[in-house]
Amino acid sequence: MKAYRETFNDGFLDYGHKQTQRSSTGKRIGDTFSSEGKLAYRLLSCRDSDYEMAGAMGGSLDMKVKTRFPPSFRKTDRNKLKCVLNNVEFDVLKVDSDKSYLYFYLQEVGAVNE
């Protein structure tokens, strides 16, 4: 049997966190997305159990993607992680991992403010 090589050619996602911007007086004036990395991804279909998991977490699942597992992601704080795909911002509900892949469960927030 020939070895199977998986392709990740559906696009690129930027992952990172939101940084609060403040004025000189300390007043909150907005948020900006701070990218911590970029990964090629492949879209996956969502199972019923994925939708149930998202509902139990208080969210709604809009997209599920698979990426390679870069060593630098081990140091990334997965709490309140955000992703940007095609200028659309997503909240990361959950990130599952195995030896060499990451599975992002995403909830759409809206268009990116630039």
Those residues whose C-beta lies under 8 Å from the C-beta of residue 55, and which sit 6 or more positions away, are: none
Reported as a single tens digit per residue, the pLDDT across 65-94 is: 999 988 888 888 778 889 988 888 899 998
State residue 3's pLDDT score: 57
Cα 31 from Cα 21, distance rounded (Å): 6
100-111 pLDDT, tens digit per residue, is 899 999 998 887
Task: Give me the residue spans of the domains in the chain.
Answer: 11-111
What average pLDDT does the segment 20-26 reach?
A: 83
pLDDT at 40: 93
Mean pLDDT value of segment 4-21: 86
Task: Tell me which architecture the domain covering 11-111 has in CATH.
Answer: Beta Barrel (2.40)
Cα 103 from Cα 109, distance rounded (Å): 19
Instruction: Provide mean pLDDT across the span 60-69.
Output: 91
pLDDT at 1: 65
Q: How far apart are CA 37 and CA 113, in angstroms?
A: 19
Residue among 15, 1, 14, 107 nearest 54 (CA) = 107
